[in-house]
Structure 1
Amino acid sequence: MPRPVLVLDLDGTVCLGDTPALLYATRVAALTDAPEALLETAQAFLGQRLPQSAPKTLMGAQDGYEAVKILGLAAGVTEEELSAAYVASRAEMSANPGDIHTPEGLVDLLAGIDAYRVILTNSPGSGLDEVLEHLGVRDVVDEVRTDALKPTRMTGHLDAFLDTVGAADTPEWLMSVGDIWRNDLAPAVERGCVAAYVDAFDRRQGPAHVRAGSFRDLYSAVLDWSNDPSSFLAAHPLKESVQC
């Protein structure tokens, strides 16, 4: 019998708080002619209080990082500069974690679940151990994989995890939990895995087996799935906008 694999995104799923996006915004803003305006708009996005005058392109941003990227590109910041700003902001977060935290009860969930627990993130590895220690999750996950290049390489990661636990022919034994549908969930759906959508901004980008506005509201689904993945899949067919 294979062991279930729980694949968790980091930012917006395991790691909550505005600090990561604000550190990124601060570095991007410094590259523009109007840094205060960019920072104010980024803060408004994170607080879900964008004014009517905000760029319409922000309305579809999936998270704070994407919002900052949209603002930066509009202000003339290059892709290369954005990438460098992102890497620098991640390194800074290890020394300045600010308000980052896990969803309430997550450490207990991960400590008690019988599954191979993975954090899969596009973030660089530099400074991540300190961040995970600050969050309190370092000892309740089995593997951390950084620089994941989601969504491009997501299917390859899923295949590798399924092979690790001997579940290549039963993909429903892997659940992917994340807040960016195209990165975390679309490849899982295509592979036949279980998709749990943390849709904090109510974007409803695509189908999932379960969906909620917070990870906490998906805990019971995660537990039910881990106890019997096949029965869970049968009871939770893909739906476009189902909310737990």
Structure 2
Amino acid sequence: MDALPRPVLVLDLDGTVCLGDTPVLLYAERVAALTAVPEALLETAEAFLGQRLPESAPKTLTGAQDGYEAVKILGLAAGVSEEQLSAAYVLSRAEMSERPGDIRTPEGLVDLLAGIDAHRVILTNSPGSGLDAILEHLGLRDVIDEVRTDALKPTRMKGHLDAFLDAAGATDAPEWLMSVGDIWRNDLGPAVERGCVAAYVDAFDRRQGPAHVRAGSLVDLYPAVSDWSSDPSSFIAAHPLKESVQC
């Protein structure tokens, strides 16, 4: 009899396992420096992060999925090019390894990851530069089995999911992979399409699409992650896709 595959837990980085405003603010600083009125961009970015946008803020910000997208919207509106935005992002990520500021993991995450039997992956669009130092600062290095950077989500997300399932021997059992993230189109939409389990960290209550479990913070999804890792098939049967029901 063939051994059962080992479940694969795919975790997004920013906004999911790495919390704090520092990463976005470092990016905002780099982008703001390219504009005529840097203080205005920084103030609006901070207001977005604090969920206290003034009436004068661009209406396009209300649909931003996270702080990075908000900064991008502000930068483009101020005349910053896509190429400049990309370069600013890469520089800000390298800088974060030296200026981690308030970055942190959700409370209890290390214990959760240490206590489950799963192949634990961080899959991020971030570049690899400085990431080891960031994971060390977060205390995650000993509870993560694999890190993939420059993931180009969502474009290449299905390919990553297929590769993880193939390596786990679970090509025909996609429920043995759970994708956890805060951006539906990047982390969850491709997982739903592939038949994997989608755990939606919907911090801004965007309700962008269906998921098997959803909550405003990763902490509230810990019981679901633990239950899934123990019996993926039973878990997905007990948690059908739901459009916007909070866990």
Specify if TM > 0.5.
yes
* Structure 2 partner of 1:234: 237
Within 5 Å, give how 1:114-133 maps onto structure 2: 114-133=117-136
Runs of 4+ aligned residues of structure 1 deviating over 3 Å after TM superposition are: none
Query: Paired residues, what number?
Result: 244
The offset of 1:53, in angstroms, is: 1.1
Q: Distance in 1 between matches of 2:168 and 2:97?
A: 32
Within 5 Å, give how 1:99-178 maps onto structure 2: 99-178=102-181
Does 2:179 align with 1:205?
A: no
Give a deviation string over 1:163-206, Cα, whole Å, max 9, x none: 11100000000000000000000000000000000000000000
Q: Distance in 2 between matches of 1:220 and 1:103?
A: 14
SS of the equivalent of 2:111 reads: helix
What CA RMSD, in Å, does the superposition of the two structures yield over aligned residues? 0.4
Give a deviation string over 1:27-80, Cα, whole Å, max 9, x none: 000000110000000000000000111111000101000000000000000000
TM-score by length of structure 2 reads 0.98
Letter matched to residue 63 of structure 1: D
Does 2:20 align with 1:41?
A: no
User: Structure 2 residue aligned with 1:87, among 90, 103, 124?
Assistant: 90
Q: Distance in 2 between matches of 1:78 and 1:165?
A: 41
Q: Distance in 2 between matches of 1:99 and 1:69?
A: 21
TM-score by length of structure 1 reads 1.00
Within 5 Å, give how 1:2-41 maps onto structure 2: 2-41=5-44
Q: Which structure 1 residue ranges, 5 or more long, are not aligned?
A: none
Q: Distance in 1 between matches of 2:56 and 2:239?
A: 41
The offset of 1:230, in angstroms, is: 0.8
Q: Distance in 1 between matches of 2:142 and 2:157?
A: 24
* Structure 2 partner of 1:98: 101
Q: Which structure 2 residue ranges, 5 or more long, are not aligned?
A: none
SS of the equivalent of 2:92 reads: helix
